[in-house]
Structure 1
Amino acid sequence: MEALSARLEKKLGKLEKEILSTSKRLSKPEFIKNADALFVEETNNNLAEAEKQA
């Protein structure tokens, strides 16, 4: 039971870091301006998925 709890906490920590990192990237106008539109859309989708899992 403790091992499962530790794994879930570790996964949650990774998701939180991913959400923070992706949110920061998407909040930068330069990133949106310079990145390929498809990449920006994929990044938005990844953020939404990470937020769902967290």
Structure 2
Amino acid sequence: MLTHMFKISMPYPFIGIHMNFSIELVIQIVCRHLCFLILAAALQPLEKMYQTR
């Protein structure tokens, strides 16, 4: 996925701006994914508590 983005960004004359943008995008996606994983991990014990009732 990363290599694909870099391949897209290489041909442009303003490589720096484009690469910076793609890296920011990747960071955003990763942060969202991490937040989702943390939420899922936090909710799992609650689900177990509800199931045991």
TM-score (norm 1): 0.53
Say which one has the larger Rg. Answer: 2
Question: Are 2:28 and 1:22 equivalent residues in the alignment?
Answer: no
Give the fraction of aligned pairs with identical amino acids, expressed as a percent: 3
Unaligned runs of 5+ in 1: 35-54
Amino acid at match of 1:2: N
List structure 1 runs of 4+ shifted beyond 6 angstroms. Answer: none
RMSD: 1.6
Unaligned runs of 5+ in 2: 1-18
Matched residue count: 33
TM-score (norm 2): 0.54
Give the distance between the partners of 2:43 and 2:28, measured in 1 at CA.
23
Asked which structure has the greater RCO (Cα within 8 Å, sep 6+), the reply is: 1
Cα offset, 1:14, TM superposition = 0.1
